Structure 1
Amino acid sequence: MHRRTPPPGRAGRPRSATADAAILAATRAALVELGWSKLTLGDVAMRAGVAKTTLYRRWAGKNELVVDAVAELFDELRVPDRGSLAADIEGVVLQFAAILARPEARSGLMAVVAESTRDEPLRERIRASIVERQKRLVLEGRARAQARGELPPESDPGEAARTVDLIFDVVAGAVVHRTLVSAEPADEQWVRSFTRVLVTGLTSLAAPSFESRTRPDSPSGA
């Protein structure tokens, strides 16, 4: 059973941002060298140069610590301004795939997701620390596309929020499945094809072959 993380604002010395950064970096290093199963809070504390009690004051256990260490990697993601909605999507998806290719992200994310299937507080932590935080990318990219006139503005806040959720789920789900489940590369060619489907829909893939089959001069045309 996992201990719940103490609520913020309790009495005691204030947290040190330097110590937090060192602990999260040490956690990622341990994930690379040891993997999730062999990682211990004692090993992380030794690598970070802090007391083990320092970790327990900040995190309830290994799972919560790994979530925050991986979440910090995803905070590196940026939406590049490449001049169009499709190009912007390609840029951020390539960054996302590159992070997932890192062993600390790959092993850490898969481990905590598996653990969260029987740990609701951990699932909530993943949702808050990774999913909700990274929806900023969709909001930024959509706002930029609307300013360019590539997407229409949305007047209904509820519908806009549902659209953001859907876009995030589609992009994150596809890239995670491609890289971590199928273990296939999310290279530029795949990202370009995925972006075309996302932006223009499935008909963009079917259209050329359909047209070639129905042209009057096509051998198979009636």
Structure 2
Amino acid sequence: MSSRSPGNGSGNGRTGRPRSAAADAAILGATRAALVELGWSKLTLGDVAARAGVAKTTLYRRWAGKNELVVDAVAVLFDELELRDRGSLRADIEDVVLQFAALLDRPETRTSLMAVIAEATNDDALRARIRTTIVDRQKRLVLVGRERAWERGELPREADPEAAARSADLIFDVVAGAVVHRALVSGEPVDAEWAGILASVLLGGLGA
């Protein structure tokens, strides 16, 4: 999977010295650590800067505020997900579901994600940033999986591009929603058996 620089595409239009990937990684890691230890309300950019060993001005050159910083800190974790070719659409789905569950089981992911979702309930701009920086980026997994299934002959190609886009959105919502609810709301295990059941339900719908 190709990597991307954290915070890219934020649209803040800032210029200056070239970004340091090492500094970005240190800042985003410090942000997640601070969230786990302090929670959203007590997290400050000053604390993050101290943990990362950078000047506070370095953070402000990269991020406009805490909301942008925390969302980007979460987004890079989800960029670790990949749709590996396991030989069939069913196996591909089961594999990425288990990867997703393992990611959510990490305290830094769980705490960071729950924090930004809670804050976004009353913040339209934050909700939009979550959508563009996390959700839209991860829809690539659906597109890769569907294209692979088309090439294998496991699914019929959709002639209508708009219908194909809508179905891709729905597939993502079903998988992501089910895993997040199971892991973070219900607190039930997301194991191989459950991943297989989810794959069966999803494939039944796709076949129809």
Question: Does TM, scored on the shorter chain, surpass 0.5?
Answer: yes
Specify which of 179, 191, 194 is matched with residue 190 of structure 1: 194
- What TM-score results when the alignment is normalised by the length of structure 2? 0.89
In the other structure, the counterpart of 2:77 is: 73
**Per-residue deviation, residues 154-178 of structure 1 (Å, max 9, x unmatched):** 1211111001100000000100111
Whole-angstrom CA distance in 2 between matches of 1:194 and 1:37: 36
- Residue 172 of structure 1: aligned partner: 176
C-alpha separation in 2, matches of 1:11 and 1:61: 17
Secondary structure of the 2:54 match is coil
The counterpart of 1:111, out of the listed 97, 108, 115, is 115
- The answer for the alignment partner of 1:204 in structure 2 is none
The answer to whether 1:135 aligns with 2:135 is: no
Tell me: CA distance 1:181–1:76, structure 2 relative to 1, closer, same or farther (3 Å).
same
Distance of aligned partners of 1:145 and 1:182 in 2 relative to their CA distance in 1, 3 Å threshold: same
Find 2:165's aligned residue among 156, 161, 164: 161
Which AA in structure 1 matches 2:124?
A: E
Q: Distance in 2 between matches of 1:14 and 1:118?
A: 34
**Residues of 1 paired with 2:59 and 2:189: CA distance?**
36
Look up the match of 2:65: 61
Distance (whole Å) between structure 2 residues aligned to residue 40 and residue 74 of structure 1: 23
Structure 1 Cα separation of the partners of residues 193 and 168 of structure 2: 25
- Which whole-Å CA distance do the structure 2 matches of 1:157 and 1:194 have between them? 26
Q: Counterpart of 2:33 in structure 1: which amino acid? A: A
Q: Percent identity?
A: 74
C-alpha separation in 2, matches of 1:136 and 1:177? 21
Instruction: Give the number of equivalent residue pairs.
Output: 197
Equivalent residues in 2 for 1:1-222, closer than 5 Å: 7-201=11-205
Structure of greater Rg: 1
Moved more, 47-56 or 91-100: 47-56
Runs of 5+ consecutive residues of structure 2 not aligned to the other structure: 1-8
CA contact (8 A) 2:14 2:61 kept: no
Is the CA contact (8 Å cut-off) linking 2:39 and 2:115 kept in structure 1? no
Aligned amino acid, residue 90 of structure 1: E
Displaced runs of 4+ in structure 1, greater than 6 A? none
Higher relative contact order (CA 8 A, sep 6+): 2
5+ residue gaps, structure 1, are: 202-222
Deviation at 1:7, TM superposition (A): 3.8
Q: Superposition RMSD on alpha carbons, in Å?
A: 1.7
Separation in 2, partners of 1:194, 1:144? 19
Q: Determine the C-alpha separation between the residues in 2 that align with 1:152 and 1:65.
A: 41
Give the Cα–Cα distance (whole angstroms) in 1 for the partners of residues 14 and 68 of structure 2.
19
Change (3 A) 1:14 1:183: same
Q: Is the alpha carbon distance of 1:14 and 1:154 closer, same or farther for their aligned partners in structure 2, counting shifts above 3 Å?
A: same
Q: In 1, distance between residues paired with 2:163 and 2:76?
A: 29
